[in-house]
Chains A and B, each alone.
Chain A
Amino acid sequence: EDQVTQSPEALRLQEGESSSLNCSYTVSGLRGLFWYRQDPGKGPEFLFTLYSAGEEKEKERLKATLTKKESFLHITAPKPEDSATYLCAVYNTDKLIFGTGTRLQVFP
Protein backbone atom coordinates (compact mmCIF):
# COMPACT_ATOMS: atom_id res chain seq x y z
CA GLU A 1 0.00 0.00 0.00
CA ASP A 2 1.25 3.48 -0.85
CA GLN A 3 2.27 5.31 2.29
CA VAL A 4 4.01 8.45 3.52
CA THR A 5 5.37 8.59 7.09
CA GLN A 6 6.78 11.69 8.71
CA SER A 7 8.90 11.89 11.85
CA PRO A 8 9.04 13.21 14.42
CA GLU A 9 5.42 14.19 15.00
CA ALA A 10 6.55 17.26 16.91
CA LEU A 11 9.88 19.00 17.35
CA ARG A 12 10.86 21.80 19.72
CA LEU A 13 14.05 23.69 18.93
CA GLN A 14 15.88 26.59 20.44
CA GLU A 15 16.48 29.44 18.02
CA GLY A 16 19.68 28.65 16.12
CA GLU A 17 19.55 24.91 16.86
CA SER A 18 19.70 23.09 13.51
CA SER A 19 17.79 19.84 12.92
CA SER A 20 16.17 17.64 10.29
CA LEU A 21 12.66 16.40 9.56
CA ASN A 22 12.18 13.01 7.93
CA CYS A 23 9.70 11.82 5.31
CA SER A 24 9.82 8.16 4.32
CA TYR A 25 7.65 6.85 1.51
CA THR A 26 6.58 3.70 -0.24
CA VAL A 27 4.89 4.27 -3.56
CA SER A 28 4.77 2.16 -6.68
CA GLY A 29 5.49 4.94 -9.14
CA LEU A 30 7.04 8.09 -7.70
CA ARG A 31 6.27 11.15 -9.81
CA GLY A 32 7.60 13.72 -7.37
CA LEU A 33 7.97 14.48 -3.66
CA PHE A 34 6.60 17.75 -2.33
CA TRP A 35 7.23 19.72 0.86
CA TYR A 36 4.68 22.19 2.18
CA ARG A 37 4.53 24.52 5.15
CA GLN A 38 1.22 25.03 6.95
CA ASP A 39 0.53 27.76 9.48
CA PRO A 40 -2.44 27.44 11.88
CA GLY A 41 -5.73 28.25 10.19
CA LYS A 42 -4.14 28.50 6.73
CA GLY A 43 -3.83 26.32 3.67
CA PRO A 44 -0.57 24.49 2.91
CA GLU A 45 2.06 26.67 1.24
CA PHE A 46 4.36 25.06 -1.33
CA LEU A 47 8.07 24.89 -0.50
CA PHE A 48 9.90 22.36 -2.70
CA THR A 49 9.48 19.66 -5.33
CA LEU A 50 12.05 16.86 -5.70
CA TYR A 51 11.87 14.38 -8.58
CA SER A 52 14.89 12.08 -8.40
CA ALA A 53 17.24 10.55 -5.84
CA GLY A 54 20.18 12.81 -5.11
CA GLU A 55 18.29 15.98 -5.88
CA GLU A 56 18.56 18.89 -3.42
CA LYS A 57 16.68 22.19 -3.20
CA GLU A 58 17.33 25.16 -0.89
CA LYS A 59 15.37 28.18 0.24
CA GLU A 60 16.67 30.48 2.96
CA ARG A 61 17.22 28.27 6.06
CA LEU A 62 15.57 25.20 4.51
CA LYS A 63 17.17 22.47 2.42
CA ALA A 64 15.34 19.43 1.08
CA THR A 65 17.05 16.23 -0.05
CA LEU A 66 15.75 13.03 -1.63
CA THR A 67 16.84 9.39 -1.65
CA LYS A 68 15.03 6.35 -3.08
CA LYS A 69 13.21 5.75 0.20
CA GLU A 70 13.05 9.07 2.05
CA SER A 71 13.42 12.81 2.05
CA PHE A 72 14.87 15.13 4.65
CA LEU A 73 14.03 18.74 5.33
CA HIS A 74 17.06 20.29 7.00
CA ILE A 75 16.54 23.48 8.97
CA THR A 76 19.69 25.48 9.63
CA ALA A 77 19.77 28.04 12.45
CA PRO A 78 15.97 28.22 12.69
CA LYS A 79 14.13 31.33 13.82
CA PRO A 80 10.78 31.57 15.65
CA GLU A 81 9.07 32.47 12.37
CA ASP A 82 9.96 29.00 11.07
CA SER A 83 7.44 27.56 13.54
CA ALA A 84 4.77 25.72 11.52
CA THR A 85 3.66 22.27 10.51
CA TYR A 86 5.71 20.83 7.66
CA LEU A 87 3.94 18.41 5.33
CA CYS A 88 5.43 15.93 2.91
CA ALA A 89 3.53 14.44 -0.04
CA VAL A 90 4.20 12.11 -2.95
CA TYR A 91 2.38 11.60 -6.19
CA ASN A 92 1.20 8.11 -6.98
CA THR A 93 0.13 8.25 -10.64
CA ASP A 94 -2.61 10.92 -10.46
CA LYS A 95 -3.13 11.33 -6.70
CA LEU A 96 -1.14 13.25 -4.08
CA ILE A 97 -0.65 11.29 -0.83
CA PHE A 98 0.23 13.27 2.32
CA GLY A 99 2.00 12.39 5.52
CA THR A 100 0.56 13.58 8.82
CA GLY A 101 3.19 16.30 9.21
CA THR A 102 5.82 17.45 11.70
CA ARG A 103 4.82 20.30 13.99
CA LEU A 104 7.89 22.47 14.55
CA GLN A 105 8.16 25.01 17.35
CA VAL A 106 11.20 27.29 17.54
CA PHE A 107 11.71 29.18 20.79
CA PRO A 108 13.77 32.38 21.13
Chain B
Amino acid sequence: NAGVTQTPKFQVLKTGQSMTLQCAQDMNHEYMSWYRQDPGMGLRLIHYSVGAGITDQGEVPNGYNVSRSTTEDFPLRLLSAAPSQTSVYFCASSPGVGDTQYFGPGTRLTVL
Protein backbone atom coordinates (compact mmCIF):
# COMPACT_ATOMS: atom_id res chain seq x y z
CA ASN B 1 0.00 0.00 0.00
CA ALA B 2 1.23 3.49 -0.86
CA GLY B 3 -1.00 4.94 1.87
CA VAL B 4 -1.88 8.61 1.35
CA THR B 5 -0.13 10.32 -1.54
CA GLN B 6 -0.06 14.02 -2.37
CA THR B 7 1.11 15.90 -5.44
CA PRO B 8 2.89 18.16 -6.02
CA LYS B 9 5.41 18.33 -3.16
CA PHE B 10 6.16 22.00 -3.83
CA GLN B 11 4.32 24.70 -5.77
CA VAL B 12 4.79 28.42 -6.34
CA LEU B 13 1.83 30.45 -7.60
CA LYS B 14 1.19 34.06 -8.42
CA THR B 15 -1.71 35.88 -6.82
CA GLY B 16 -4.92 35.13 -8.70
CA GLN B 17 -3.78 31.85 -10.24
CA SER B 18 -5.76 28.68 -9.70
CA MET B 19 -4.54 25.18 -9.03
CA THR B 20 -5.55 21.79 -7.68
CA LEU B 21 -3.71 19.89 -4.97
CA GLN B 22 -4.10 16.18 -5.48
CA CYS B 23 -4.68 13.61 -2.75
CA ALA B 24 -5.20 9.88 -3.17
CA GLN B 25 -5.37 6.91 -0.81
CA ASP B 26 -5.35 3.19 -1.56
CA MET B 27 -6.66 1.94 1.81
CA ASN B 28 -10.37 2.11 0.90
CA HIS B 29 -10.91 4.71 3.61
CA GLU B 30 -14.27 6.45 3.73
CA TYR B 31 -13.12 9.58 5.59
CA MET B 32 -10.72 12.07 4.01
CA SER B 33 -9.69 15.55 5.06
CA TRP B 34 -7.53 18.52 4.17
CA TYR B 35 -5.54 20.58 6.68
CA ARG B 36 -3.25 23.54 6.46
CA GLN B 37 -0.33 24.01 8.82
CA ASP B 38 1.07 27.42 9.61
CA PRO B 39 3.76 28.34 12.17
CA GLY B 40 2.24 28.80 15.63
CA MET B 41 -1.26 27.86 14.40
CA GLY B 42 -1.15 24.09 14.36
CA LEU B 43 -3.11 21.99 11.89
CA ARG B 44 -6.41 23.55 10.87
CA LEU B 45 -9.17 21.66 9.07
CA ILE B 46 -10.15 23.09 5.67
CA HIS B 47 -12.67 20.58 4.28
CA TYR B 48 -13.52 16.97 4.91
CA SER B 49 -15.53 14.12 3.43
CA VAL B 50 -17.20 11.19 5.17
CA GLY B 51 -17.66 9.32 1.91
CA ALA B 52 -17.87 9.63 -1.86
CA GLY B 53 -20.25 12.39 -2.89
CA ILE B 54 -20.29 14.00 0.58
CA THR B 55 -18.17 16.96 1.63
CA ASP B 56 -18.36 19.51 4.43
CA GLN B 57 -16.53 22.58 5.64
CA GLY B 58 -13.96 22.67 8.38
CA GLU B 59 -12.53 25.58 10.35
CA VAL B 60 -10.96 27.54 7.45
CA PRO B 61 -12.84 26.74 4.20
CA ASN B 62 -12.84 30.16 2.51
CA GLY B 63 -10.94 30.23 -0.80
CA TYR B 64 -10.94 26.45 -1.19
CA ASN B 65 -13.23 24.00 -2.98
CA VAL B 66 -13.36 20.22 -2.77
CA SER B 67 -15.24 17.37 -4.39
CA ARG B 68 -15.25 13.63 -3.76
CA SER B 69 -16.33 11.67 -6.82
CA THR B 70 -14.48 8.48 -5.85
CA THR B 71 -13.48 6.85 -2.56
CA GLU B 72 -9.77 7.13 -3.49
CA ASP B 73 -9.39 10.79 -4.50
CA PHE B 74 -10.04 14.06 -2.69
CA PRO B 75 -8.63 17.05 -4.62
CA LEU B 76 -8.39 20.53 -3.10
CA ARG B 77 -8.92 23.47 -5.46
CA LEU B 78 -7.68 27.01 -4.99
CA LEU B 79 -9.81 29.16 -7.29
CA SER B 80 -7.86 32.44 -7.02
CA ALA B 81 -4.72 32.10 -4.93
CA ALA B 82 -3.87 34.74 -2.33
CA PRO B 83 -0.64 35.26 -0.33
CA SER B 84 -2.61 34.29 2.82
CA GLN B 85 -2.87 30.78 1.36
CA THR B 86 0.90 30.30 1.57
CA SER B 87 1.14 27.25 3.83
CA VAL B 88 1.87 23.55 4.04
CA TYR B 89 -1.15 21.43 3.10
CA PHE B 90 -1.76 17.94 4.42
CA CYS B 91 -4.30 15.40 3.30
CA ALA B 92 -5.38 12.61 5.65
CA SER B 93 -7.67 9.60 5.58
CA SER B 94 -9.25 7.19 8.04
CA PRO B 95 -11.53 4.17 7.80
CA GLY B 96 -14.40 6.19 9.24
CA VAL B 97 -15.39 9.07 11.50
CA GLY B 98 -13.61 8.82 14.85
CA ASP B 99 -10.89 6.50 13.57
CA THR B 100 -7.16 7.18 13.41
CA GLN B 101 -6.30 9.54 10.56
CA TYR B 102 -3.22 8.80 8.45
CA PHE B 103 -1.44 11.70 6.81
CA GLY B 104 0.22 12.27 3.47
CA PRO B 105 3.66 13.87 3.09
CA GLY B 106 2.31 17.36 2.43
CA THR B 107 2.42 20.04 -0.26
CA ARG B 108 4.34 23.24 0.42
CA LEU B 109 2.58 26.09 -1.39
CA THR B 110 3.92 29.61 -1.81
CA VAL B 111 1.73 32.37 -3.26
CA LEU B 112 3.61 35.46 -4.41
Residues of A at under 8 Å CB distance from B? 31-32, 34, 36, 41-46, 49, 87, 89, 91, 93-101
CA distance A102 to B4 in the complex (A): 25
What 7 A-B pairs are tightest by C-beta distance, nearest first? A43-B103, A100-B42, A98-B43, A31-B98, A94-B97, A98-B42, A44-B103
A-B contact count (CB 8 A): 52
Q: Majority SS of interface residues in chain B?
A: strand
Known: A42-B106, A91-B98. A101 touches B48 (CB 8 A): no
Contacting A at CB under 8 A, from B80-112, are 90, 92, 97-98, 100-106
Closest approach, in angstroms, between the C-beta of B91 and any C-beta of chain A? 9
B50 within 8 A of A: yes
Residues of B at under 8 Å CB distance from A? 4, 33, 35, 40-45, 48, 50, 56, 58-59, 90, 92, 97-98, 100-106
Instruction: Judge whether B33 and A43 touch: CB under 8 Å.
Output: no
CA distance A80 to B103 in the complex (A): 24
> Chain B residues with Cβ under 8 A from A41's Cβ?
106
